[in-house]
Structure 1
Amino acid sequence: MTVQIAQRGKAYLETVRTLLRTAQTMIDSVIARRLKALADDYPRQAEKVSRLDSTKALARSAAKS
């Protein structure tokens, strides 16, 4: 199943890239691991907000009809 990523979801994915880049350059391994763990959760969050945004858009569309 292919999920269409909404604009807000794309922002989440950009944040993931930033977190991963930062984690890779960190000297403190504890902080790097925390950033990596946070980044690992963001794709799930991006998918979740994309679904919510799509559901809201469909509800608005149905309400206008």
Structure 2
Amino acid sequence: MTLEVSQRGKEYLKTAQTLLRAAQTMTDQAIAGQLKALADDYQRRAEKASHVDAAKALARSVTSAEGRMAYMI
């Protein structure tokens, strides 16, 4: 099953990429490591947000289908 990245997930990924680019320009390895860890966190947030958003969309779809079925009965 392939999960499409939600808009919110895309924003998290964009932030992660920005953090990684900043980390690559750092001469202080401690700060670079912290930025990389923060980027990893944002990548996890992107995945979680996409899962949550997909679940919400599915729930809306089911609710909508149930409403249409009730109308037909």
Count of aligned pairs between the two proteins? 65
How well do the aligned residues superpose, as a CA RMSD in angstroms? 1.4
- Residues of 2 paired with 1:35 and 1:43: CA distance? 12
- Residues of 1 paired with 2:50 and 2:40: CA distance? 17
Q: Indicate the SS of the match to 1:13.
A: helix
1:27 aligns with 27
Which residues of 2 match residues 1-65 of structure 1 at below 5 A?
1-65=1-65
Letter of the 1:31 partner, please give it.
Answer: I
In our comparison, the structure showing a higher alpha carbon Rg is 2
Q: State the Cα distance separating 1:33 from its structure 2 match.
A: 0.7
Q: State the Cα distance separating 1:2 from its structure 2 match.
A: 2.6
Q: State the Cα distance separating 1:43 from its structure 2 match.
A: 2.1
- Residues of 1 paired with 2:2 and 2:61: CA distance? 22
| TM-score, reference length from structure 2 | 0.76
